């Protein structure tokens, strides 16, 4: 009978062989891609929706399955005191009671930024292929739900700085009206 140590060593050896096989397959399928241990290929998209910053990430596991995540990031200046905290807490008001794909799975602060996020790698999703469009739509839905349920969050308008949702809506309305006038002038020429 094998000892516990022998079993663990054999398991580790098999795991390492599997990783090496996966790296070799990845390298064959993607010439020029680094297969150094500990490196993952990650795709990153960043944007703003309704004055709130977000990012979407996707990476491929060794089976070449894309794993998606999105994160919403808010500065201290955007949040009322009741929504600011430091550290990690799953009981944060923005992590529960807000629409997140599969629930909020990440809450953390770095300096003056609060970042919350979720992933698409749950057991019930192992055979589901998601797209950037789907994850982007979900990220926007989370931001909209967050602003609906917490109207005291300030939005960040690139020209005005931090402002209320009402001021942001007014800025957007004025910009849309200005674009419509410009288009009407061009059509009339």
Ordered by start, the domain boundaries in the chain are 41-152, 154-189
Give pLDDT, residue 9.
59
Q: Can you tell me whether residue 73 is helix, strand or coil?
A: strand
Contacts of 144 (CB under 8 A, 6+ apart): 49, 50
User: pLDDT 10s per residue in the chain (189 long)?
Assistant: 566 555 445 555 544 554 455 445 545 555 445 556 666 678 999 998 888 999 999 987 766 678 899 999 998 989 988 888 766 666 788 888 899 998 999 998 888 899 999 999 887 777 788 899 999 999 999 999 998 898 888 887 766 667 777 776 777 787 778 788 888 877 766
Q: Can you tell me whether residue 5 is helix, strand or coil?
A: helix
Give pLDDT, residue 182.
82
Q: What angle do CA 16, 22, 24 make, to 5 degrees?
A: 105
Give pLDDT, residue 38.
64
Write down the pTM of the prediction: 0.67
Gyration radius of the chain over CA positions: 23
Q: Listing from the earlier edge strand, what are the strands of the sheet with 106-110?
A: 42-49, 52-60, 66-75, 113-119, 106-110
**For residues 35 and 20, is the Cβ–Cβ distance under 8 A?**
no
H helix runs in 30-157, sequence order: 132-149
């Amino acid at each position: 009978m094998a000892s516990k140590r022998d079993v663990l060593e054999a398991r580790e050896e098999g795991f390492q062989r599997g990783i090496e096989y996966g790296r070799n397959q990845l390298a064959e399928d993607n010439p020029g891609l680094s297969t150094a241990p500990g490196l993952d290929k990650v795709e990153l998209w960043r944007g703003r929706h309704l004055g709130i910053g977000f990012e979407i990430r996707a990476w491929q596991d060794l089976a070449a399955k894309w794993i998606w995540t999105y994160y919403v990031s808010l500065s201290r200046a955007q949040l009322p005191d009741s929504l600011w905290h430091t550290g990690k807490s799953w009981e944060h008001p923005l992590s529960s009671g807000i629409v997140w794909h599969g629930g909020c799975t990440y809450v953390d602060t770095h300096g003056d930024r609060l970042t919350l996020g979720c992933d698409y790698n749950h057991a019930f999703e192992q055979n589901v292929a998601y797209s950037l469009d789907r994850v982007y739509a979900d990220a926007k839905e989370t931001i909209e739900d967050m602003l609906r349920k917490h109207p005291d969050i300030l939005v960040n308008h690139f020209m005005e700085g931090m402002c209320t949702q009402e001021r942001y809506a007014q800025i957007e309305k004025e910009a849309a009206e200005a674009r419509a006038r410009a288009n009407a002038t061009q059509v009339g020429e």
